Amino acid sequence: EAVEAMEVCRRYTNLAATIHLLKTRSITLLNPATWDDKNDAYFMAEYKRHKGAKTVLALCFAQADETYHHWRVFSHGSDGVRIEFDKQKLLSAFAGDERIKTGVVRYKRIKQLARRSSLKLEELPFLKRSPFRDEREFRIVFVDLDAALEFHSYDVKISWIRRITLSPWMSKPLATSVKHILRSIKGCSGVSIARST
């Protein structure tokens, strides 16, 4: 099971973003300044400032199995969705773009993070506080030194999606309708879709 976890990237998101991904066959990296976790946003902003970059965007994935925490924090509410990607196939979407950096997040205690002299600049986008280590997060980071962008999209294939899971808070009747709608999107009839229990 640990091997499978490393091969899968789980994106916790919402229904609107899922429909967009399936309809446009694209995945979008966004500005971390909008993240709920202000500590995370701070490290990304510091990285951008020290790097002298005009743009830093990111996309986060969990490599751990689902927990209540994942749903509550990353996809709260009845319209939460988890999209599981084949990790290697997903990474192929970014291959050859030198503006992309990928890596697993390293978890450190506040005291370690406070000693900024011990941190390397390229570590900043991949650091998080130790209480979040169970997420086993993987990040894709986009850095552009010259152009100021609020988002940037990359083409993906529906076949890279292993499974779509709907929120445990979505009622069963709604889940049935949502599954039907998602599968009615062109090319998505064979996508595995279930509601989390």
Of residues 166 and 2, more confidence is placed in 166
Dihedral sign of CA atoms 13, 4, 192, 179 in order? negative
Residue 97 neighbours by CB under 8 Å, 6+ apart: 142, 154
Q: What is the pLDDT of residues 110-127, one digit of tens each?
A: 776 666 566 789 988 998
* The length of the chain, given as a count of residues: 197
| pTM for the full predicted model | 0.88
Q: Which residues face 143 on adjacent strands?
A: 56
Q: What is the pLDDT of residues 65-89, one digit of tens each?
A: 766 556 666 666 789 999 999 999 9
Burial of 140-164, coded b for 16+ CB within 10 Å and e otherwise, reads bbbbeeeeeeeebebebeeebbbeb
119, 127 Cβ separation under 8 angstroms:
yes
